[in-house]
Amino acid sequence: MPGALHVRGVVLPDDEVRDLWLDGDRITTTPVADATTVADRGFILPGLVDAHCHIGIARGGAPIGSLAQARQLATVDRDAGVLAIRDAGSPYPYPELDDDPDVPRLARAGRHVAPPRRYLRDIGVEVAAPDVAATVAEQARAGNGWVKLVGDWIERDAGDLAPAWDAATMAAAVDAAHAADARIAVHTFSESAVEIMVRAGVDSVEHGTGLSVDLVDEMARRGTALVPTMINIATFGDIAARAREKFPGYAKHMLALRDGFPTVVRAAYEAGVPIYVGTDAGGGIDHGLAAREMLLLHEKAGMSTVDVLRAASWGARDWLGFPGLVEGGLADLVVYDTDPRADLRVVQAPKRIILRGRVVA
Ligand SMILES: [Zn+2]
């Protein structure tokens, strides 16, 4: 076991200058003898979280082929200060990495549960309506607390987005996840699917471009989370350009969803919906972009700097069950030179990163 560490600085969110000791993988405020001081000023936050990330999907969209590849992708996020990941669906199982000292904390879904022949190739378990609930239960066991459902995708015959299954099947999926003691995250782009899923009691809406003002109020009332993945939504222009010739209605719809999105996120924020930072890294989006997503939430969706920090740090950790900088909390933290509440851009350059009580940078 490495020796104990000591840090001193302004600890957020409490906003107090404090000394913390990292004794193995635990935080304590009781001094530990012979600890090495690794930061003596600056602003200290609980380690960042990427709440929508895929370390099982390689660049380009194919499933990864080895544990080493998942570890490598996760370390790109780690080196940007992301010390916990919610993996929103992986075609490659990697439960061995849950306690890997080099890998961020993992809240994992199993494979995406998706409709037949409509989702990204080779990524999801593709099932027809009668098998959805049983598959959700099975994938709950493959993950460690989360299930990922694909709530909509293009329906080629209709030439537009459409819900993955009928509303009763999608509601049964939510119940099946909860019966298996898992939370359920749902991918939705369209207006129709997100309405079904919010009213069915899903735990988190991923992307959520189809949200309306009525629905964000309903989410706030229920405490349903939103992970907007602004970086992903910015790629809708490319998706539309590729689809335009064959599916002009779909292409137009995607552009309208993209253009209306910052307003949707702002409405959700103002309604009090819990919002978390997720990049959707994996496939078409690079790892290590959590800071960029944070800046987008501030600049495009109007979230205050402190609320963005909550969405990326202590709030997200509480949501996922990874305790922060409290007595007995997990020894994951990032240190910045200057106050990220005053200028959020500082999150692009952490001065110190400590994961599981060990110095990463
Ligand atoms: Zn995703």
- The amino acid sitting at 120 is L
Rounded Cα distance between 148 and 161, Å, is: 18
Distance 347 CA to ligand 1 centre (A): 23
DSSP code per residue over 288-351: S-HHHHHHHHHHTT---HHHHHHHHTHHHHHHHT---SSTT-BS-EEEESS-TTT-GGGGGS-S
Rounded Cα distance between 340 and 337, Å, is: 9
**pLDDT in the model for residue 2:** 63
Distance 314 CA to ligand 1 centre (A): 22
Distance 38 CA to ligand 1 centre (A): 35
Rounded mean pLDDT, 35-40:
98
Rounded mean pLDDT, 176-191:
98
Rounded mean pLDDT, 178-193:
98
DSSP state of 95: G
Q: Is the pLDDT of residue 1 over 70?
A: no
**323 φ, ψ to 5°?**
-60, 145
- pLDDT tens track for 61-84: 999 999 999 999 999 999 999 999
Instruction: Please name which of 30, 31, 38, 29 lies closest in space to residue 2, comparing C-alpha atoms.
Output: 38
Rounded Cα distance between 147 and 197, Å, is: 14
Distance 354 CA to ligand 1 centre (A): 26
- pLDDT tens track for 137-148: 999 999 999 999
Count Cβ atoms within 10 A of the Cβ of residue 242 and give its class: 0-12 exposed, 13-18 middle, 19 or more buried: exposed
- pLDDT tens track for 275-321: 999 999 999 999 999 999 999 999 999 999 999 999 999 999 999 99
- pLDDT tens track for 324-338: 999 999 999 999 999
Which single residue is written with the structure tokens 């190739």?
121
Distance 54 CA to ligand 1 centre (A): 7
Q: Is the pLDDT of residue 151 over 90?
A: yes
**pLDDT in the model for residue 216:** 98
Residue 361's pLDDT band (cuts 50, 70, 90): very high
Q: Which residues surround ligand 1, an ion (CB under 5 A)?
A: 88, 280
Distance 50 CA to ligand 1 centre (A): 11
Which token pair is 108?
């994992």
Residue 3's pLDDT band (cuts 50, 70, 90): confident
Distance 84 CA to ligand 1 centre (A): 16
- pLDDT tens track for 237-255: 999 999 999 999 999 999 9
Element of type H or E holding 193: helix 191-200
**pLDDT in the model for residue 179:** 98
**pLDDT in the model for residue 350:** 98
Answer yes or no: are the C-beta atoms of 205 and 194 closer than 8 Å: yes
Distance 19 CA to ligand 1 centre (A): 38
Instruction: Please name which of 43, 17, 39 lies closest in space to residue 305, comparing C-alpha atoms.
Output: 43
Rounded mean pLDDT, 189-196:
98
Q: pTM for this one?
A: 0.98
Distance 63 CA to ligand 1 centre (A): 13
Residue 190's pLDDT band (cuts 50, 70, 90): very high
Distance 17 CA to ligand 1 centre (A): 38
Answer yes or no: are the C-beta atoms of 183 and 146 closer than 8 Å: yes
Instruction: Please name which of 163, 97, 110 lies closest in space to residue 137, comparing C-alpha atoms.
Output: 110
Rounded mean pLDDT, 93-122:
96
Answer yes or no: are the C-beta atoms of 286 and 322 closer than 8 Å: no
Q: Is the pLDDT of residue 175 over 70?
A: yes
Percent of the chain scoring above 90 in pLDDT = 99
Answer yes or no: are the C-beta atoms of 320 and 327 closer than 8 Å: no
Which token pair is 67?
């544990």
- Taking phi over 0 as left and psi of -120 to 50 as alpha, with beta for the rest, 50 belongs to beta
Distance 214 CA to ligand 1 centre (A): 25
Distance 150 CA to ligand 1 centre (A): 10
- Taking phi over 0 as left and psi of -120 to 50 as alpha, with beta for the rest, 135 belongs to alpha
Distance 300 CA to ligand 1 centre (A): 21
Rounded Cα distance between 274 and 311, Å, is: 8
Distance 131 CA to ligand 1 centre (A): 22
* Mean predicted lDDT score pLDDT of the chain: 97
